[in-house]
Structures are given as structure tokens and as C-alpha cells.
Amino acid sequence: KSDTSSDELDGHYFFYPLYYDLVAQTEKEKEEVRQVVRDLTDHLIRHGYNLVDHTGTVTRWGVYSPDALNHDPDWWAERGLKSLSMLSYLAVAAHVTGESRYLEHQAELIQNHAFDTNALIYKIHRGIGSGNQSDDEMAFMCYYNLLRYTPEGSLRQKALLSFYAAWLNEAPEMNPFFHFAYAGQAMGREVSDPWGTHSISPTGDWLVDSIETLQGFPLNRFNWACENSHRIDIKSLPDQNSTDLLSSNPRQRGYRINGKVLPVENRHFNHWNTDPWQLDYGGSGNILASGTVFLLPYYMGLYHGFIAH
């Protein structure tokens, strides 16, 4: 695991409680999930909130320690997402194992290291399409479980407000997983601030866009090339909306005149961490992409009652 990424932990912790709650039927099955979650979370806590390899060194991206995120200039850009991830992991661990000590660790990270404030802005961005696009998928997985397993209180209010801001920024991407993850936790919810109480229920075309994307998924999952940069209905994203502000070789990126990304049938991607603002996609039809990119949002939409068979 020398180069294991936080992406991997985010994905694992996203599915552990879903399997525990919705799939595991026997006590033996549930205990197997508990043990995996307990072992992994205890490992992170024991190593100062870091993922450590068998060599005894921290993996390349498995850094969640307060000292690194809050005081090391090499890790400041990771502060938001890593803080959000760790708070979510601990909420998942408390739910699956039933052990309150994980919430005590969570409270310590909030009270002494401001992880809840760090998580208010999960990545450095400058509006739609900007910043690391793969961070968005990780953040939405972590938001979903943090809110699913956190009771009413200050942390939940902050997480809801942060999730709302994140969803507004991602809404033009027509991503059904993002829409359903957000709506599943924010539908009918409100947040309060010194100026009043405000609804954060999803609005606009979120459901129509989600259904359109699911219906438009090509049945042919081979990686055939797609070119769209020549189209006259495309507007280019300005430089300030780049994925990397300092890149000397920015890719051509844009959106349709309706303000949304290209429809799914005009693109090819294998996971929801792909840059949806990219206009041209290479490929020669020699790779078969996964179908789970469709199945995850489809079954999430069914589970929450947003779509029907």
C-alpha cells in the first residue's frame, strides 16, 4: 500500500455502513463488517490519524493528522477534504461498531483542531469546473455518511451548509450520484444562522438532469473517442475555472450554452471522478469500462424514492 490514496479509504468507508445496514442479514455477517471497520479505524487513530504501511511509514496520501493538515504548508490544500473524510470515518465507525469512543475522537478533532471548520470548504476552487475534479466524488461520499449518521447539532448544521454549497457548485454537471447523495440527506432540511432559518432542499433541474443522464448512458461501454471541441454550442470555461490554476498546459474545457456539461452520451468515462467539463476524450475501443458508474446512482435513486423501476 505504499502509494495508497485517500480515495481508497473514502470509497471503503462509504460502502461499509451501507453493506452493514442494507445487505448483511446475519449477526455473523454484521460482526465481520464491524471487525473490519474497527481494525481500520483503530489503525488510523493509533497512528495519529494516518494510514501507515507495513514498512512503518505513512502512505503517500494517507495523511489526516491535525499537525499536518493545520500546520504543515505542504498539506494545507488537503485540509478541507481530509478533515471531512476523517469526521465521516469516525461517524461510520461509531454507527457500525456501536462504540461511543469514536465519537469522543471526533469531538476531540473538532474542539482542539477545528476539523469541522476545516470541512466547511472541502477543496480549493474558483467556481464551476475548478479545482481537482476527483475531490468532488470523495467529498460527496463523505458528506453522505457524515450526515446519515450524525444527530442534530452543531456538526450536522455545519455539514449540511457545507454540503449545500458543494452541491450548488456541482449541480451543472448533471451527475445523478451527486444529486441523489445530496437530496437523500438534504431534502426538507433547513440550516440556521444569525439572520434566520433557510431551506437547503435541492431546487431546479436536479431530478430531470439525473434521469436524463441515467437514460442517456451508452450501453456500449467501450472507450471510443469522443470529440466535442469543434461544436458551435460550446462555451469555453475561463482560465480562473481551471483544474490547476498554475498549469502551463491547460486542457480545453467547456460547457453547453444552457450552462451545463455535455450530455453523458457525448462523453466516455469510467468513474464519477472524471472531469465532466472536458470536451475531447481519447480512446480506441480496446477497454471495456465498468457498469457500476450507472448502477450506483441508479440504485441510490431507487432507495431514496427519487426514481422508479
Q: In the prediction, which pLDDT does 309 show?
A: 82
Q: Is residue 213 in some structural domain?
A: yes
- Average pLDDT over every residue of 11-36: 98
For helices 154-170 and 176-186, what crossing angle results, to 10°? Answer: 150
**Domain ends where: 162, 184, 206?**
206
Q: What's the pLDDT tens digit per position in 156-180? A: 999 999 999 999 999 999 999 999 9
Q: How many domains does the chain have?
A: 2
Query: What number of other Cβ atoms are within 10 A of residue 196's Cβ?
Result: 8
pLDDT at 77: 93
Q: Does residue 230 sit within a domain?
A: yes
Query: Which helix (H) or strand (E) covers residue 165, if one does?
Result: helix 154-170
Domain end, chosen from 206, 232, 258, is at: 206
The average pLDDT across 13-21 equals: 98
Q: Are residues 36 and 105 in the same domain?
A: yes
pLDDT reported for residue 250: 63
Cβ count near 218 (within 10 Å)? 15
DSSP code of 278?
B
| CA within 13 Å, CB half, 199 | 6
- Taking only the tens place, the pLDDT of each residue in 170-214 is 999 999 999 999 999 999 999 998 999 999 999 999 999 999 999
Neighbours of 279 (CB within 10 A): 23
Same domain for 189 and 249? no
146 and 279 both lie in a single domain: no
* Percentage of the residues of the chain whose pLDDT score is greater than 70: 97
The CA distance from 263 to 258, in Å, is 11
> Are 114 and 170 in a shared domain?
yes
Q: What is the pLDDT of residue 262?
A: 97
Q: Is residue 307 part of a domain?
A: no
Which DSSP helix (H) or strand (E) runs through 293?
helix 292-304
The mean per-residue pLDDT over the stretch 50-62 comes to: 92
Pair 146, 195 in one domain: yes
In a domain, 18, yes or no: yes
Phi, psi of 95 (to 5 degrees): -70, -50
Query: What is the value of pTM for the model shown?
Result: 0.95
| Same domain? 156 vs 251 | no
Residue 67: enclosing H or E segment and its boundaries?
helix 66-71
pLDDT tens per residue, range 64-123: 999 999 999 999 999 999 999 999 999 999 999 999 999 999 999 999 999 999 999 999
Tell me: pLDDT of 249 over 60.
no
Mean pLDDT, all residues of the chain? 95
Inter-CA distances, 231 with 113, 223, 266, Å: 49, 21, 12
Give the per-residue pLDDT at 54: 86
Domain that holds residue 289: 209-295
12-36: average pLDDT:
98
- Residue 305 in domain: no
Looking at residue 2, its pLDDT comes to 58
The residue among 161, 180, 206 that closes a domain is 206
Whether residue 273 sits in one domain with residue 152: no
Residue 60 maps to a domain: yes
- Would residue 302 count as lying in a domain? no
Closest CA to 83 of 67, 105, 66, 102: 66
Same domain? 108 vs 12: yes
Same domain, 32 and 142: yes
* CB-CB contact of 116 with 154 (8 Å): yes
- Do 103 and 215 reside in the same domain of the chain? no
- Is the confidence at residue 248, as pLDDT, over 70? no
Confidence of residue 300 (pLDDT cuts 50, 70, 90): very high
- Is 301 inside a domain boundary? no
The pLDDT score that the predictor gives to residue 242 is 86
Compute the distance between CA of residue 285 and CA of residue 156 in angstroms, rounded to an integer: 45
Same domain for 140 and 64: yes
What is the pLDDT at residue 308? Answer: 93
Are 188 and 118 members of one domain?
A: yes
Q: Indicate if the pLDDT at residue 1 is higher than 60.
A: no
